[in-house]
Amino acid sequence: MPDSGRRVFVYRRKSGWERLKERWQDRNRSRKVGPAFAPKTSSQPAGKHAIEKSQDKGWAILRDRLRKVAAQGLQVLMVLAIVTVFFSFFLLMLVFLFPSEGPGGTWIQQATLRLPSNLGLEDSRPSDRSIELWSGGQTASYELGMTEPVAAYLTYKKNDVRGRRAGEIVWTATDLDMALYDRDAVQTLKSSRAIVTFDSTNFLDLDENAMVIIKRIEDNPILRDRRTFLVMVEGNLRGRIEATPERNMDVAVTTAAGEVRVKTAKIAERRADFAVKVNPDQSTSLTVFDGEATLTAAGKTVTVKENEVARVAPNQAPSDPEPIPAPVALHLPVSDAQYYYRDFPPRIVFDWEGGDRGYRYHIQVGRDPLFRDRVLDEVTTKRWFMFGNLRAGDYRWRVSAVNKDGLEGAAGEVRPIKVTRDLDAPRLVLLSPSSKGTIKADRILVRGRSETGARVFVNGKPAAVEPDGSFSQKAALKEGVNVIVVEAVDPAGNTAYQTRIINRKP
């Protein structure tokens, strides 16, 4: 065929890969340049230069996206690494502050405790040879053969008291009479208080913002004593220990500044009443109210005797003992005073004397001789306190002085009082006059008997009442019929009436 001078294009069918590649390149050009500037499509194949240029742009976009994904992944890894480091540091601090073992690497083990039947320290829980789930004071366990005896009980709690089981991190709410085991911890928050009872004569009283790690009491048959070890982290702790006829008592309290040791074998009365206070600066003060104790730090040991206090700062030797504030003198109520009420408890005013200017006073009212079950525990700047919420029962009250430095003295005298609810009318018997009578005199003698402590009124006027309840009072008469009303009122406010009708002749 002759050449007409015209160029002839030979078309061939494109493969699927080529069509897909061109479509992807067109899409990238449209996104990069925009629809208004996108090249027009043609049925003719694109030039080699255009294809290579579009490919470079596509690979650049892909690389940018990969870089962004890699940067985001690196940030996530860095955050995870930082969180892991801080969490590991937190766990190390917990292990350091709350070690699973005591000084020297060994905790003291416990033998059987002799307790009142209502405490029941003969109970036990599974030891480390068991699987245990504990939450909110409730324990569910799967025993593997061995059990761990109870170390103490939480016999009193006021407001927010928390507990932490040995080997755990989370603090949970506590229950009254909750069992405490070896290395369990108890913490009192603001305006809270708790009493941890080991047995009938040994207990710890935790004031607000206090924390202590509990240890079981060990019975040592060779040394004939019973020992326990406590770790006190912060707050105020007051303890009372007493030896048994067979065993002495040995208590050690370790703080950040030193170690307190109380041994009944060195005390004539074989009992001790002491207080340990850990201040915010980690200094420690030891106060002894009864018996004696020792305070050891920096290689020095001082003996603190009754009504003395010694202090120690971290990494320093303890100070020499000094006297604590003197006891106050109680005024009212008197010993064995009795109060009665019918509907609402009476308002009782407690007052005392003593203390210097600027002192505060710590008043306590309890149901038991050791003041473990307290119904009133307050600090006041006045030398009196009114309380109107004592229900029927037997109580004891005491007051101690607190000086300007916050140092509390001994309580001194303890006085018992009794509150009784009385719903019965008092007994009232009229001996004279008779039920009816006629006389000529203008006055008549009224005699009778009521119960001890009752007040008697004859026609509204108070009569003289003897300690045995007998009374007598003259009543005026007018001519004609007279009604004599005798009223007896007991201390609770219950009343009884008797009437007599007397006819006076002119």
pLDDT category of residue 240 using cuts at 50, 70 and 90: confident
For residue range 416-458, what is the model confidence (pLDDT) as tens digits? 999 999 899 999 998 888 777 778 888 888 999 998 889 999 9
Task: Please state, in angstroms and rounded to a whole number, the distance separating the CA atoms of residues 289 and 327.
Answer: 11
Residue 331 pLDDT exceeds 90:
yes
pLDDT category of residue 30 using cuts at 50, 70 and 90: low
**Percentage of residues in the chain having pLDDT higher than 70:** 74
Residue 340 pLDDT exceeds 50:
yes
Task: Please state, in angstroms and rounded to a whole number, the distance separating the CA atoms of residues 457 and 179.
Answer: 57
pLDDT category of residue 366 using cuts at 50, 70 and 90: very high
**Percentage of residues in the chain having pLDDT higher than 90:** 21
Task: Please state, in angstroms and rounded to a whole number, the distance separating the CA atoms of residues 90 and 71.
Answer: 29
Provide the mean pLDDT of the chain: 78
For residue range 243-300, what is the model confidence (pLDDT) as tens digits? 776 667 778 888 888 888 887 755 566 778 888 888 888 889 899 988 888 889 888 9
Q: Average of pLDDT values for 116-130?
A: 42
Task: Please state, in angstroms and rounded to a whole number, the distance separating the CA atoms of residues 98 and 101.
Answer: 9
Task: Please state, in angstroms and rounded to a whole number, the distance separating the CA atoms of residues 181 and 178.
Answer: 10
Q: Average of pLDDT values for 11-22?
A: 65
Query: So what's the pLDDT on residue 217?
Result: 64
Q: Average of pLDDT values for 124-153?
A: 50
For residue range 32-42, what is the model confidence (pLDDT) as tens digits? 555 444 454 44
Query: So what's the pLDDT on residue 236?
Result: 84
Residue 362, judged by CB atoms within 10 A of its CB (0-12, 13-18, 19+), counts as middle
Residue 105 pLDDT exceeds 50:
no
Task: Please state, in angstroms and rounded to a whole number, the distance separating the CA atoms of residues 363 and 284.
Answer: 24
Q: Nearest Cα to 167, choosing from 182, 188, 157, 177?
A: 182
For residue range 373-423, what is the model confidence (pLDDT) as tens digits? 889 988 999 999 999 999 999 999 999 999 888 888 888 899 999 999 989
Q: Nearest Cα to 397, choosing from 378, 381, 380?
A: 378
477 φ/ψ angles, rounded to the nearest 5 degrees: -125, 145
Residue 103 pLDDT exceeds 50:
no
Residue 15 pLDDT exceeds 50:
yes
Query: So what's the pLDDT on residue 443?
Result: 87
H or E stretch at 74: helix 48-97
Query: So what's the pLDDT on residue 371?
Result: 85
Query: So what's the pLDDT on residue 38?
Result: 47
Residue 101 pLDDT exceeds 50:
no
For residue range 181-216, what is the model confidence (pLDDT) as tens digits? 888 999 998 888 888 888 777 888 888 888 888 876
Whether cis (ω within 30° of 0) applies to the bond prior to 333 is: yes
State how beta strands 308-312 and 284-290 pair. Answer: antiparallel
Residue 367 pLDDT exceeds 70:
yes
Query: So what's the pLDDT on residue 94?
Result: 67
Task: Please state, in angstroms and rounded to a whole number, the distance separating the CA atoms of residues 352 and 399.
Answer: 8
Query: So what's the pLDDT on residue 161?
Result: 93
Q: How far is CA 88 from the centre of its chain?
A: 30
Buried b (16+ CB within 10 A) or exposed e, 434-466: eeeeeeeeeebebebbbbeebbbbbeeeebebe
Residue 26 pLDDT exceeds 70:
yes
- Matching residue, tokens 């603001």: 190
Residue 44 pLDDT exceeds 80:
no
pLDDT category of residue 232 using cuts at 50, 70 and 90: low
Beta-bridge mates of residue 249: 226
Q: Average of pLDDT values for 92-104?
A: 53
